[in-house]
Structure 1
Amino acid sequence: MGTELFSWELFTWGIDNFSERKDVMKSDPFSSGGCNWWIEVYPKGHRGHDDGLAVHLGVAHPDESLRPGWRRRVRFYIVYLDQSGQELCRTPDISRLFCNEIPGCGHTLEFTLTELQEKGFLENNKLRFQIYMHVLEVVNQVKSTKDDMVDFHGV
């Protein structure tokens, strides 16, 4: 096992023709904290939030790239931008433990497509946002034991 220190990193993504999108979209993988990540965007909501835009941060292909027992403790937040790069909305900080059992999590904006357009999120039908991400802890564990515990959203 090991713990490493990482600085805040910024990942920006713009999605053209957003109002025409129906299915989940995934960014290209990017590297941080010793593993690959991606951003998933659910334009029609995710798990019970049928109308709200959902943006998730997740570990890309964890079974292929990480050893059993891996964990990443991450703090992140999402900033939604207008087309000139000005901040429209910022989520609260989200601190999560990512592991095999929980490889992703995110945030849902409770805005319908019409509200996103009215509030300026979709100028020229393009959604732009940034994810600020800080990997706080990296654990690479070869084998897990029956006594291992997983923090599930602070429960």
Structure 2
Amino acid sequence: MEKQAHKTFYWIIKNFSLQSERLCSVPVLIGDCKWRLLAYPKGSNCDYFSLYLEVVDFESMSCGLGRYVKFRLTFVNQVSPNLSAVRETECCFDDKCTSWGFTTMLSLRKLQEEHNRYLVNGEVKIIAEVEVFEAAGTLIESEISEEASELLSKKQRE
């Protein structure tokens, strides 16, 4: 499978507050479209900080085809980086699935405990590593993981 683009970007949320409903990072150009992070500090009906990757301008994708994307999101422990919360997945983004991520990225209890050092001086730090591959409609199933193959099959049935 041919990689179209890879990028690592950082998002520092200053004056972080659990009172915020939804936060969005600045869009970043990766491949032929813009991507951003969406955060739900109070979670999505749960006691966790929720974090998602979103394609901002799906319409700009060439030929209107989706993209197969592997990504890793890291909620940085600012004192002990080896204790950072890390989640990774792969997904096919298209006009029906424009965001994908983790409802349970980091428990709010861990986030709020001062000794855990995820929130320092009112700031949280998040790292996104994103690999975008060729248009999902042109992938050969043997070239992708079983999980991604199942995602593609499910989307084709919808």
TM over 0.5: yes
- On the 8 A contact 2:24/2:37 being kept in 1, the answer is yes
Residue 38 of structure 2: aligned partner: 40
TM-score by length of 2: 0.74
User: Could you say if the C-alpha distance between residues 16 and 78 of structure 1 is closer, same or farther in structure 2, counting changes exceeding 3 Å?
Assistant: same
Deviation at 1:33, TM superposition (A): 2.2
Give the alignment partner of residue 107 of structure 2, picking from 97, 106, 111: 111
Q: List per-residue Cα deviations over 1:22-79 (Å, max 9, x = no partner).
A: 2211111111121111111110112x4x22101110110324x346642100001112
Q: What are the within-5 Å matches in structure 2 for residues 4-153 of structure 1?
A: 5-46=3-44, 48=45, 50-63=46-59, 65-66=60-61, 69-83=64-78, 86-107=81-102, 108-112=104-108, 114-118=109-113, 119-138=116-135, 150-152=152-154
Deviation at 1:100, TM superposition (A): 0.3
- Count of matched residue positions in the alignment of Structure 1 and Structure 2: 141
Percent of aligned positions that are identical: 26
The answer for unaligned runs of 5 or more in structure 2 is 139-150
SS in 2 for 1:116: helix
- On the 8 A contact 1:38/1:58 being kept in 2, the answer is yes
User: Aligned partners of 1:22 and 1:7: how far apart in 2?
Assistant: 32
Structure (1 or 2) with the greater helix fraction:
2
The answer for unaligned runs of 5 or more in structure 1 is 142-148
TM-align CA RMSD: 2.8
TM-score by length of 1: 0.75
